[in-house]
Amino acid sequence: MELKSKLASAHTTIFTEVSALASRHGAVNLGQGFPDFDPPDTLLSLVAKHTKGHTHQYAPMAGLTSLREAIANKVGTLYGYGPDPEAEVTITAGATQALFTAITALVHPGDEVIIFEPAYDSYRPSIELSGGKAIPYRMEPPGFEIDWRRVAALVTNRTRMLIINTPHNPTGTILRAGDIEQLLLLVRNTDILILSDEVYEHLVYDGENHQSVIRYPELYSRSLAVFSFGKTYHATGWKLGYVIAPSWLTTEYRKVHQWNVFSVNSVFQYALAEYMEDKDHYLSLCDFYKTKKDLFRSLLDGTGFRPLGCHGTFFQVCDYCDISDKQDTDFARELIVRHKVAAIPMSVFYSQPTDMKLVRFCFAKKEETLQHAGDRLRSVS
Ligand code: PMP
Ligand code: GLN
């Protein structure tokens, strides 16, 4: 039988590939972005408590009311606008599902969606499965800044959506107020929607603020903002997150969400709702990761890896041109197989061939893991 693939050029994600290779070769895995430590004990106790309750049947389609209320309170405190939990907050099976569902709900065949490369790998296939076309804006090292006039040049009468991601995976850059102002000017008087991937909202360093689209009423009125409990509570395996959008967009979002997942894991929603009553849990996250970032960067001192700026996320991009002139995919493979440290090659986040001699390390790891990786990286030459 002949099968016409809906994603003919797709292959297994780089994160799966690198993690499998790392485990086969006993490498310290600084590739795929996940912590090697557990969620806080209090949260785990709440999960245990709610597992014993009558919490095991379907949650409401949009998510548990108490959790949506807790999220609305948090958002109001952080970004100055408290969304209506009933009409503007939806609990999702992680950010990946939220992004996929939002794109499926809003992108029509032939629509163009502007993405910023290097781009998180789920955006493009999600767009293509909806019959849309991803239009990449290419960001360049070392700063990966965005020239908004060049973005404007990519806009056509088919542009339906623009996907932003701040703090940005994989580069560790952030959008600042000036970027948001220019973005606003770009989309004003157009029908362009914004899908804003904000899963690293709490990981912004050096006293800067996270520029959520929710802070900007005019921008928010055409935006969907996506978040992940996985990043905030060291629980990537729970696959829980949420999307916040004005009611007219939430209505469209939920039309698809209900056929996509209907509702998501109930027990963990009860636990998270109770846990979120204490806001210190997320406010301390930035300092927690800043310590890890500083440690990892100091460990790179004695190596041939040159770290680029890291203003947000738990990723550190490094230039390895003093060590090797190999293509990054080959270099990353050799790093795993010979030196037993896993990193993600940067070129996989671009749609066009690139050879920037950059790799991405994840520093969401225990101190001893980072020390161990540092020891091995010092021997790479
Ligand atoms: N967006 C970005 C930028 C990410 O880095 C990730 C994952 N790590 C996701 C979305 C997906 O998050 P989740 O695991 O909640 O699906
Ligand atoms: N977001 C994580 C990363 O960038 C991985 C998520 C995944 O494996 N799907 O490493």
Instruction: Identify residue 306 by its one-letter amino acid code.
Output: R
Ligand 1 nearest-atom number relative to CA 97: 16
Domain end marker among 212, 246, 275: 275
Cβ-based neighbour number of residue 7 at 10 Å: 10
> Does residue 230 sit in helix, strand or coil?
helix
Which residues on neighbouring strands pair with residue 173, listed in sequence order?
Answer: none
The full length of the chain comes to: 381
Residues 209 and 110 in one domain: yes
169 lines ligand 2 (CB under 6 A): yes
Tokens 């996270």 belong to residue: 210
Distance 197 CA to ligand 1 centre (A): 8
pTM across the whole model: 0.97
Distance 36 CA to ligand 2 centre (A): 14
276 contacts 74 by C-beta, under 8 angstroms: yes
Distance 170 CA to ligand 1 centre (A): 11
Based on the structure, what is the number of domains in the chain? 2
pLDDT at 333: 95
Residues 176 and 262 in one domain: yes
Query: Looking at the predicted structure, is the pLDDT value of residue 44 above 90?
Result: yes
- Sign of the Cα torsion 184, 189, 192, 193 reads positive
Does residue 71 fall inside a structural domain? yes
Query: Looking at the predicted structure, is the pLDDT value of residue 48 above 90?
Result: yes
Does residue 49 fall inside a structural domain? no
Ligand 2 nearest-atom number relative to CA 32: 10
Distance 317 CA to ligand 2 centre (A): 15
Does residue 3 fall inside a structural domain? no
Residues 287 and 271 in one domain: no
Q: HEC profile for 257-311? A: HHHHCCCCCHHHHHHHHHHCCCCHHHHCHHHHHHHHHHHHHHHHCCCCCEECCCC
Domain end marker among 256, 275, 294: 275
pLDDT in tens, 253-284: 999 999 999 999 999 999 999 999 877 778 88
Does residue 190 fall inside a structural domain? yes
pLDDT at 284: 87
Does residue 5 fall inside a structural domain? no
Query: Looking at the predicted structure, is the pLDDT value of residue 330 above 90?
Result: yes
Over residues 338-353, mean pLDDT:
96
Closest among 320, 318, 310 to 361, alpha carbons compared: 318
Distance 199 CA to ligand 1 centre (A): 6
Residues 169 and 240 in one domain: yes
Residue nearest to atom 3 of ligand 1 (CA): 169
Residues 238 and 335 in one domain: no
Over residues 76-99, mean pLDDT:
98
32 lines ligand 2 (CB under 6 A): yes
pLDDT in tens, 210-251: 999 999 999 999 999 999 999 999 999 999 999 999 999 999
Does residue 82 fall inside a structural domain? yes
Query: Looking at the predicted structure, is the pLDDT value of residue 381 above 90?
Result: no
pLDDT in tens, 271-324: 999 999 877 778 889 999 999 999 999 999 989 999 999 999 999 999 999 999
Residues 76 and 221 in one domain: yes
Residues 232 and 167 in one domain: yes
pLDDT in tens, 156-180: 999 999 999 999 999 999 999 999 9
Residues 236 and 260 in one domain: yes
Does residue 372 fall inside a structural domain? yes
Residues 64 and 206 in one domain: yes
Domain end marker among 275, 296, 318: 275
Domain extent at residue 324: 14-39+283-377
CATH classification at residue 114: 3.40.640.10
Residues 254 and 117 in one domain: yes
Ligand 1 — pocket residues by CB below 6 A? Answer: 33, 94-96, 120, 165, 169, 197, 199, 228, 230, 236, 241
Which residues on neighbouring strands pair with residue 159, listed in sequence order?
Answer: 112
Residues 370 and 237 in one domain: no
Among 96, 236, 313, residue to substitute to test ligand 2 (most atoms within 8 Å of Cβ): 236
Residues 176 and 316 in one domain: no
pLDDT in tens, 93-150: 999 999 999 999 999 999 999 999 999 999 999 999 999 999 999 999 999 999 999 9
Distance 342 CA to ligand 2 centre (A): 14
pLDDT at 302: 84
Residue nearest to atom 3 of ligand 2 (CA): 33
Does residue 359 fall inside a structural domain? yes
Contacts by 123-127 with C-beta closer than 8 Å and gap 24+? 123/99, 123/163, 124/351, 125/7, 125/10, 126/99, 126/100, 127/103
CATH classification at residue 319: 3.90.1150.10
Measured distance CA(313)–CA(159) in Å, rounded: 28
